[in-house]
């Protein structure tokens, strides 16, 4: 596995690969890698000749400074895991490489209502930061395929919108959420949970699955209320539980004949904020 810390070094290497007609898949991450990330590396390996992964803890997407400073940084373990999983290229830039003073990296597109709900409503500026870093990284890597996880459902919707609004050629590929044995969605943040809370956090996925099983039995507001109640355990504080149209992400009042419906939630487990989602209806 080749490791590059500079844009120039990476771009020289990628230019050579492109000359020899290699198809390039790209997995952007914040590091502290786990099997969820590795499933995306595998997906890229299956579909492309070369897999590029980046590790960059992007300051512009953290609305809480303490969340940024507490974000785990585990480069040695990450690069070992990537090597073992046949990643070809690791890009590990510093902030100056991604945000040089002479390049305006801001993304000025209108996300409509996509970023005013759920994570967008609770984490002001978060998706501006996500769009900014993904656009910048795509401009650097110029991959054929961008591989992202359904774990961050709204993030996927934002990036899909950006790729289309900016007429970017990269194809977006989505991988399913990988979970721990008891159902908790894998996340770098899980490392910050105590053993006990980590076990108890299985309630989030359990609740999502309960909602899926009961989607015909109750109306939407009742499902949401019952879901919040189920997750209201000691030390757990649900921030939102929203049943929404899977494309527009706007909250819905009834399922009716909707073809694509998702339930998304954010829950505080102690001092750690966890997000998860479940597609309730998919007739697309």
Nearer to ligand AMP, 97 or 205 (CB): 205
Shortest Cβ 99–ligand AMP spacing (Å):
17
- The DSSP annotation for 150-201 comes to TTSHHHHHHHHHHHHHTT--PEEEEEPPPB-TTSPBP-GGGGGS-HHHHHHT
Residue 188 or 265: the one with the smaller Cβ distance to ligand AMP is 188
Take residue 258 and report the two structure tokens written for it. 């909707």
Active site residue 42: no
From the candidates 37, 42, 126, 161, give the one annotated as an active-site residue: 37
Q: How far is the CB of 24 from ligand AMP (least distance, A)?
A: 17
Tally Cβ neighbours within 10 Å of residue 217.
Answer: 8
How many residues are given for the chain?
284
Residue 256 CB, nearest approach to ligand AMP (Å)? 29
Integer Cα distance of 134 and 172 in angstroms? 12
User: Which CB sits closer to ligand AMP, 118 or 223?
Assistant: 118
Residue ranges binding ligand AMP (CB under 6 A): 29-30, 36-37, 39-40, 148-149, 151-152, 175, 177-178, 185-188
DSSP state string for 25-68: EEEEE-SS--HHHHHHHHHHHHH-SEEEEEE---GGG-SSHHHH
CB of 19 to ligand AMP, least distance (A): 28
Q: Provide the minimum distance between the beta carbon of 53 and ligand AMP in the complex, in angstroms, as a whole number.
A: 9
Residues whose CB falls within 8 Å of the CB of residue 173, separated by 6 or more in sequence, listed in order: 25, 43, 44, 47, 145, 146, 147, 148
Q: 251: which DSSP letter? A: B
Residue whose CB is less far from ligand AMP, 40 or 220: 40
Complex with ligand AMP: residue 25 or 175, whichever CB lies closer: 175
Give the residue numbers marked as catalytic.
37
């Amino acid at each position: 596995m080749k490791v590059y810390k500079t844009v120039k070094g990476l771009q020289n290497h990628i230019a050579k690969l492109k000359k020899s007609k290699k198809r390039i898949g790209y997995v952007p991450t914040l590091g502290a890698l786990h099997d969820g990330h590795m499933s995306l590396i595998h997906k890229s390996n299956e579909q492309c000749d070369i897999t590029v992964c980046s590790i960059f803890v992007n300051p512009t997407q953290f609305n809480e400074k303490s969340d940024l400073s507490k974000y785990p940084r585990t480069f040695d373990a990450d690069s070992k895991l990537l090597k073992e999983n046949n990643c070809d290229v690791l890009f590990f830039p510093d902030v100056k490489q991604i945000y040089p003073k002479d390049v305006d990296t801001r993304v000025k597109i209108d996300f409509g209502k996509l970023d005013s709900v759920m994570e967008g409503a609770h984490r002001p500026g978060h998706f501006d930061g996500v769009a900014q870093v993904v656009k910048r990284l795509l401009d650097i890597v110029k991959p054929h395929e961008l591989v992202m996880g359904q774990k961050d459902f709204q993030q996927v919707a934002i990036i899909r919108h950006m790729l289309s609004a900016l007429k970017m050629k990269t194809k977006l590929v989505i991988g399913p959420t990988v979970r721990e044995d008891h159902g908790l969605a894998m996340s770098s943040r899980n490392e910050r949970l105590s053993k006990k809370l980590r076990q108890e956090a299985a309630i989030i996925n359990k609740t999502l699955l309960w909602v899926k099983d009961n989607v015909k039995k109750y109306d939407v507001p009742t499902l949401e209320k019952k879901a919040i109640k189920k997750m209201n355990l000691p030390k757990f504080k649900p921030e939102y539980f929203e049943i929404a149209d899977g494309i527009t992400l706007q909250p819905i009042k009834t399922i009716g004949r909707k073809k694509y419906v998702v339930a998304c939630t954010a829950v505080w487990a102690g001092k750690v904020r966890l997000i998860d989602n479940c597609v309730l209806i998919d007739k697309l």
